[in-house]
Structure 1
Amino acid sequence: MTRPASASLSPVPRTATAEVHDVIKQRILDGHYRAHEYVREASIARELAVSRTPVREALRELVSEGWLEAIPHHGARVVAWTEKDAREVFELRLVLEPMAVRLAGGRIDAERLARLEALAGRMEALVERVEADPAVRNEIAFLNHDFHRLLVEASDNLRLASVLESVVRTSVIRRNFGNYDLDNLRRSMRHHREILEAIHAGSPEWAEHVMRAHLLAAQALHVRPPEPGGDQTPDH
């Protein structure tokens, strides 16, 4: 469908609240703000040269999205990532992401597939530098997020992509590859390549099964299995 001519004349200007929101969220993702660290309204307003109103609104939005939590009489602080969070995220991803990849396998275009190939190659090269330069793990984590996001977007299912974006961005970015040794990282990269091979081969079901194996391997590194016969009471 052709967009109305007026829609392409100029981009919609971003509000101060949106700008502040994105800065704070990116700092959380980068690890600039740590778990349980307070994000101070006055400090942010002074640093970004804005009034306190857009900062207050941005903090409120980040609380509603789950990035921050409001502590009465103290302010907003970064939410800590718990094992319960990881367990819930993987429960969702194991259902939804293989489905998204199966859909993507039948709908992906050549341009997006080429971008996925490029991302896979960049991550593979970085993995071989991990032992000499552990800091590249963070770059791998961001590229990995982009890889998964592009795959999900290729499903051409906006609702599915929206749900998974909110889930994947926390599990893939906030939890970096600190739990992965070199063998784990190389296996993860092989999974990426096999997913792309399955798509090239025209087998969405193959791609779906590889994504499920990929997520199960990640889950094993991030979530402790329940003890046999143990108490299944959720974490608090």
Structure 2
Amino acid sequence: MSQPRHLDAAPVARTATAQVHEAIKQRILDGSYRPHDYIREASVARELAVSRTPVREALRELVSEGWLEAIPHHGARVVAWTEKDAREVFELRLVLEPMAVRLASERLDRARLDRLEALAERMEALTERVETDPGVRNEIAFLNHEFHRELVLASDNQRLASVLESVVRTSVIRRNFGNYDLTNLRRSMRHHREILEAIIAGSPEWAEHVMRAHLLAAQALHVRSTDVPGGAPPGTCSH
């Protein structure tokens, strides 16, 4: 005897919500939705061919995660980050991420190191294409996030990894490399390589110091961009 259809409703609804959640987040990441843009339930439901219920649930989740903010009587809009927000995020990362890399240096296994090297190699290749194909910046941003995430997970400290994931996710700081010219991108790629060299050499202190320099360089670019009237919105710089 077949199961009643209503038993499948929850998983189906959850899948639809997850799909809408990912679609909206991706539009924020690629700049289709800009800071202060309102996300309308009806429009999203129509564009994604779903009912308004999963859209409503996805918007609630994105608000709780810090991607959107709820404005009474108006709806949900994309968060715009101030220079103060950016400084606070970098202050946290400058303490926590070098610590995570130092721990990772002592615990990294060969399989994860291979993944990190593959990510670094792919980012380097894409970097050399940015002037002729600006669209690769989004892929670099995604791979860059994965590179940092792998390093943090390798620390084998779940609480540290959770805090850092929350900080990076909520700040929306990994949107893209729009503020990076080719020189800055190449420097960022060199930092990635040097971190791996330090790990292979068995020097946690070296790896920790390079990560700190890496983040300071990103911070300088990010803060500079927020100082320029009409410049790129806070949160568009990556690491």
Q: TM-score range by the shorter chain?
A: 0.7 to 0.9
- CA deviation profile, 1:91-150 (whole Å, cap 9, x unmatched): 110000000101111111111110110111111112222222333222211111111111
Cα displacement (A) at 1:51: 2.6
| Closer, same or farther: CA 145–99 of 1 in aligned 2, 3 Å | same
Q: 2:75: which partner in 1? A: 75
CA distance in 2, matches of 1:84, 1:160: 23
Superposed, 1:14-163 pairs within 5 Å as 15=14, 16-163=16-163
Q: 1:231: which partner in 2? A: none
Q: 1:229: which partner in 2? A: none
Q: 1:5: which partner in 2? A: none
Whether the aligned pair in 2 keeps the contact of 1:194 and 1:207 (CA below 8 Å) is yes
Whether the aligned pair in 2 keeps the contact of 1:36 and 1:77 (CA below 8 Å) is yes
The structure 1 segments of at least 4 consecutive aligned residues displaced by more than 4 Å after TM superposition are none
TM-score (norm 1): 0.83
The letter of the residue matching 1:63 is: V
The letter of the residue matching 2:198 is: A
Q: 1:166: which partner in 2? A: 166
CA distance in 2, matches of 1:75, 1:180: 33
Whether the aligned pair in 2 keeps the contact of 1:100 and 1:160 (CA below 8 Å) is yes
Identity %: 85
Comparing 137-146 with 163-172, greater Cα deviation is found at 163-172
Whether the aligned pair in 2 keeps the contact of 1:119 and 1:143 (CA below 8 Å) is yes
The letter of the residue matching 2:212 is: R
Whether the aligned pair in 1 keeps the contact of 2:67 and 2:172 (CA below 8 Å) is no
Cα displacement (A) at 1:172: 4.2
The letter of the residue matching 2:216 is: L
CA distance in 2, matches of 1:168, 1:110: 26
TM-score (norm 2): 0.82
CA distance in 2, matches of 1:111, 1:193: 17
| Closer, same or farther: CA 70–56 of 1 in aligned 2, 3 Å | same
Superposed, 1:179-218 pairs within 5 Å as 179-218=179-218
Whether the aligned pair in 1 keeps the contact of 2:69 and 2:78 (CA below 8 Å) is yes
SS of 1:25's equivalent in the other structure is: helix
How many positions carry a matched residue from both structures? 213
Comparing 82-91 with 115-124, greater Cα deviation is found at 82-91
- CA deviation profile, 1:179-206 (whole Å, cap 9, x unmatched): 2222211111111001000111111121
SS of 1:133's equivalent in the other structure is: coil
CA distance in 2, matches of 1:24, 1:171: 13
Unpaired stretches in structure 2, ≥5 consecutive residues: 1-9, 225-239
CA RMSD of aligned residues (A): 2.0
